[in-house]
């Protein structure tokens, strides 16, 4: 039988961004979109254009600049939504409008208050309206897996008749099991007479941890498109993870007889990029892209690996973009060695960025004997966070760290002198306040900036091994009901914390 090519529809920028705490700004979205196109995804869902002016702007910016993949905007079956999506996609090389309407009895009765007949009419009207504005229309039957199969068949037939080129059968609440999903997709193929006129897609959520399994079952039953996200981001427990579905199809080609256009060697770099811009760390044991995904700890496993890698490895780490580098960089390493290592790690640095990374690398080498891959990644990612990488302008009036002097003792309030700078102006604050050193730093910054903000979340971890390892701090700050993320890395955790808070304050200024 001929091998099928499954379309990969990435929704990191839309459903992925719905993950709590994963919001991205415009320049970050553009960076992720460019990396997705480079990875070879067929469709990039860039956002939900009607949702906010910011969403409109990002769908439009992605549509204007990204080539090689279809660019898609979500829209309800409402004329205004569809018109807004079409407007945002105006300059896309290959635009797609994605209209959706819930079809399950639960949603029809409680949310939409619609009869089954009205439900079909609305879906058809939405698709027809969209089809007049764009040749490529996807229709999603939201909560399809809890929809009566008879009604779902009627909806699918009607929207294909109305002009939908792709019909998506989402497991919106992550309720389906793999065998149930297989049966549902097979039933559609058997019962919908015009089903061959459209691509059948799935979009499965991970509430029961089965999103990848249900998507694979759908592919076996005939689905030609899978919707997924980098690192499995998405509403609640997330969506089907792109890297997992792609590698499952590739590794178990003997079962699925299907391939994708994804350049799998780019999976680890894009996973890191998305983790950096969203601040959502990839768990070490995450399949395919986690740091431990190819680490062998037990003696028996290590012995087997030395004798032959296939004893304990079903995929090669290089195939997903993990490149082994034994060389540790240090004080005497040059610019070329740094550029080469960055490239191996998935970052091609232009001359300007290389100079900045090299400058920071030299400062770090003065404080730390061995510089590991994780340290170099942290340097590059910090520059991305500060908006200095990839042609993104740094906020010219942004705050930066200068120095501190801190005295702490158990059961005593900390005493702190903090110096920070904005532009050319330096500010000093001396305080005797806070529950501990971090709180004290935060209060001092709040006083200097005059911003009435509070800390929502604080995370600190080490970047690499060893007692001189750098501390990596991520902070979520609440200001006027909005959450802003900041990130800082340093061999000194207090400095990393200060940088993270200032980074969040700078993002606030940039956004507001």
Residue in 201, 199, 198 with CA at minimum distance from that of residue 184: 201
Is there binding between residue 140 and ligand KIV (CB under 6 A)? Answer: yes
Residue 227 found at the interface with Zn ion (CB under 5 A): no
Min dist. Cβ of residue 15 to ligand KIV (A): 5
Beta bridge partners of 409: 412
Q: The tokens 């996609």 sit on which residue?
A: 89
For residue 15, state whether it binds ligand KIV (rule: CB under 6 A): yes
What is the C-alpha to C-alpha distance for residues 244 and 232, in angstroms, rounded to an integer?
9
Q: Give the whole-angstrom CA distance, residue 89 versus residue 98.
A: 11
Residue 142 touches which of Zn ion, ligand KIV, none (CB < 5 to 8 A by kind)?
ligand KIV
Q: Which does 108 bind (CB under 5 to 8 A by kind): ligand KIV, Zn ion, none?
A: none
Query: Among residues 15 and 472, whose Cβ is nearest to ligand KIV?
Result: 15
User: Does the protein bind ligand KIV through residue 17 (CB under 6 A)?
Assistant: no
Which C-beta is closer to ligand KIV: that of 15 or that of 381?
A: 15
| Position 203 contacts ligand KIV (CB under 6 A) | yes
Contacting ligand KIV (CB under 6 A), which of 10, 27, 95, 100? 100
Q: Please name the residues in contact with 107: beta carbons below 8 A apart, sequence gap of 6 or more.
A: 142, 143
Question: 277: which residues sit within 8 A by CB, 6+ positions away?
Answer: 24, 28, 31, 32, 384, 385
Compare residues 172 and 260 and give the one whose CB is closer to ligand KIV. 172
Please check whether residue 204 is in contact with residue 171, taking contact to mean a CB–CB distance below 8 angstroms. Answer: yes
Closer by beta carbon to ligand KIV, 138 or else 381 = 138
Rounded Cα distance between 304 and 287, Å, is 21
Per partner kind, with CB cut-offs from 5 to 8 A, the member of ligand KIV, Zn ion, none near residue 464 is: none
Q: Which CB, 15 or 244, lies closer to Zn ion?
A: 15
Q: Give me the residues paired with residue 101 across strands.
A: 141
**Shortest Å distance, C-beta 142 to Zn ion:** 8
Smallest separation (angstroms) from ligand KIV to the CB of 402: 46
Q: Interface with ligand KIV includes 145 (CB under 6 A)?
A: no
Show the site string, 172-191: x = touches ligand KIV by CB under 6 A, - = not: x-------------------
Rounded to whole angstroms, how far apart are CA atoms 301 and 287? 18
Q: Indicate whether 12 belongs to the interface with ligand KIV (CB under 6 A).
A: no
Closer to ligand KIV by CB, 169 or 420: give it. Answer: 169
Q: Is 288 left (phi over 0), alpha (psi -120 to 50) or beta?
A: left
Minimum distance, C-beta of residue 246 to ligand KIV, in the bound complex (Å): 20
Rg (alpha carbons) of the chain, rounded to whole number: 25
Q: Which window, 15-23, 87-95, 99-107, 122-130, contacts Zn ion (CB under 5 A)?
A: 15-23
- Residue 14 CB, nearest approach to ligand KIV (Å): 8
Min dist. Cβ of residue 205 to ligand KIV (A): 6
Burial of 409 (0-12, 13-18, 19+ CB in 10 A): exposed
Q: How many residues bind ligand KIV (CB under 6 A)?
A: 10
242/172 Cα distance (integer angstroms):
17
From 7, 9, 15, 381, residue interacting with Zn ion (rule: CB under 5 A): 15
Helix (H), strand (E), coil (C) string for 411-451:
CEEEEEEEEEEECCEEEEEEEECCCCHHHHHHHHHHHHHCC
Residue 150, classed as helix, strand or coil, is: helix
Q: Which is nearer to ligand KIV, 168 or 470 (CB)?
A: 168
C-alpha angle 286-289-295 in degrees, rounded to nearest 5: 80
| Residues 16, 501: Cα–Cα separation, whole Å | 25
Instruction: Considering only the stretches 9-17, 29-37, 78-86, 94-102, report the one whose residues sit in contact with Zn ion under the rule CB under 5 A.
Output: 9-17
Which listed option, ligand KIV, Zn ion, none, makes contact with residue 100 (CB within 5 to 8 Å by class)? ligand KIV
DSSP 8-state class, residue 461: E
Asked if residues 204 and 174 have their Cβ atoms less than 8 Å apart, the reply is yes
State yes or no: residue 170 binds ligand KIV (CB under 6 A). Answer: yes
**Contact residues for ligand KIV, defined by CB under 6 A:** 15, 74, 100, 140, 142, 168, 170, 172, 203, 205
**Contact residues for Zn ion, defined by CB under 5 A:** 15
């Amino acid at each position: 039988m001929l091998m099928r090519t499954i379309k990969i529809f990435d929704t990191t920028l839309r459903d992925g961004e719905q993950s709590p705490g994963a919001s991205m700004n415009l320049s970050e979205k553009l960076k992720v979109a460019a990396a997705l196109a480079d990875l070879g995804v067929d469709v990039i869902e860039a956002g939900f254009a009607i949702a906010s002016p910011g969403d409109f702007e990002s769908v439009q910016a992605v549509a204007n600049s990204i080539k090689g993949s279809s660019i898609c905007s979500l829209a309800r079956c409402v004329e205004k939504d569809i018109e807004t999506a079409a407007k945002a996609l105006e300059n896309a090389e290959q635009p797609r409008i994605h209209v959706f309407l819930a079809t399950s009895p639960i949603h029809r009765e409680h949310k939409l208050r619609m009869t089954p007949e009205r439900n079909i009419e609305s879906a058809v009207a939405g698709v027809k309206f969209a089809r007049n504005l764009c040749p490529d229309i996807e229709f999603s039957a939201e909560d399809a897996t809890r929809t009566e199969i008879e009604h779902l068949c009627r909806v699918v037939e009607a929207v294909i008749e109305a002009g939908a080129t792709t019909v998506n059968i989402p497991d919106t609440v992550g309720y389906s099991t793999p065998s149930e999903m297989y049966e549902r997709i097979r039933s559609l193929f058997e019962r919908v007479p015009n089903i061959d006129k459209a691509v059948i897609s799935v979009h499965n959520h991970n509430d029961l941890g089965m999103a990848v399994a249900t998507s694979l079952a759908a592919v076996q039953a005939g689905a030609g498109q899978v919707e997924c996200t980098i690192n499995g981001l998405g509403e609640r427990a997330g969506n089907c993870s792109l890297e997992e579905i792609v590698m499952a199809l590739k590794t178990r080609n003997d079962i699925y007889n299907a391939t994708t256009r994804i350049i799998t060697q780019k999976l680890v770099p894009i996973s890191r990029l998305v983790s950096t811009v969203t601040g959502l760390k990839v768990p070490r044991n995450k399949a395919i892209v986690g740091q431990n995904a190819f680490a062998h700890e037990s003696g028996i496993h290590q012995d087997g690996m030395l004798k032959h890698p296939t004893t304990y490895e079903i995929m090669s780490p290089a195939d997903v973009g993990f490149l082994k580098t034994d060389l540790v960089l240090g004080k005497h390493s040059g610019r070329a060695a740094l550029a080469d290592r960055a490239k191996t790690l998935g970052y091609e640095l232009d001359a300007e960025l290389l100079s900045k990374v090299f400058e920071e690398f030299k400062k770090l080498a003065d404080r730390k004997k061995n510089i590991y891959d994780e340290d170099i990644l942290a340097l590059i990612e910090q520059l991305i966070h500060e908006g200095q990488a990839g042609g993104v302008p740094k906020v010219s009036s942004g705050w930066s760290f200068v120095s501190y002097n801190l005295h702490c003792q158990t059961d005593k309030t900390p005493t702190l002198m903090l110096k920070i700078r904005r532009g050319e102006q330096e500010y000093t604050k001396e305080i005797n306040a806070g529950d501990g050193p971090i709180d004290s730093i935060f209060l001092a910054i709040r006083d200097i900036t005059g911003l009435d903000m509070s800390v929502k979340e604080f995370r600190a971890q080490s970047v690499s091994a060893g007692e001189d390892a750098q501390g990596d701090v991520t902070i979520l700050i609440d200001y006027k009901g909005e959450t802003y993320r900041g990130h800082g890395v340093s061999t000194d955790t207090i400095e990393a914390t200060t940088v993270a808070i200032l980074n969040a304050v700078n993002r606030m200024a940039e956004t507001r």
